[in-house]
Amino acid sequence: MLPVVSVSDGIVIASSLDVAAYFDVDHRAVLLAVDGLLLEAHEVAVAHFREHHGERRHYDMTRGGLALLARSLNGPQVARWRERYLDAFDRQQRAMGQGGALPARQHQPARGPSPAMVPAMPAGAAPLTMSSREIAELLGNRHDNVKRTIDTLAERGIIGRPQFEDRPFTDAQGKSRSEKVYLVGKRDSYVIVAQLSPEFTAALVDRWQKLEEQHAHPAALFNPSDPRVVAAFLAHWHQEASTAQAALADATGALAQIEAAQGSLSITDAAKALSHPVKPFFAKLYRNRWTYRRGGKGDWLAHADRCRAGLMDHRPVTYERDGQRVLGTQAMVTPKGLRVLADRLATDPSWQD
Q: What is the pLDDT of residues 281-330, one digit of tens each?
A: 998 998 888 999 887 777 889 998 888 888 999 888 777 777 777 777 88
Contact between 246 and 252 (Cβ < 8 Å)? no
- Asked whether residue 197 is assigned to any structural domain, the reply reads yes
Same domain, 279 and 239: no
Predicted confidence at residue 175, as pLDDT, reads 78
Helices (H), the chain: 16-23, 27-40, 42-45, 63-70, 78-96, 132-139, 143-155, 186-196, 201-216, 227-260, 267-273, 278-287, 304-308, 335-347
Question: In terms of residue numbers, what domain contains 313?
Answer: 261-351
Q: Is residue 15 part of a domain?
A: yes
pLDDT, averaged across the chain? 75
pLDDT tier at 182, thresholds 50, 70, 90: very high
Are residues 120 and 144 both part of a single domain? Answer: yes
* Distance of alpha carbon 285 from alpha carbon 276, whole angstroms: 12
pLDDT digits (tens, 9 = 90+) for 184-221: 888 788 778 777 765 566 566 666 667 666 666 554 44
Mark whether 278 and 246 lie in a shared domain.
Answer: no
Separation of alpha carbons 214 and 211, rounded Å: 5
Between 67-76, 82-91, 266-275, 344-353, the lowest mean confidence (pLDDT) is in 67-76
Average pLDDT over residues 144-154: 88
Q: How many domains does the chain have?
A: 4
Domain presence at residue 1: no
Question: Which of 106, 134, 163 delimits the end of a domain?
Answer: 106
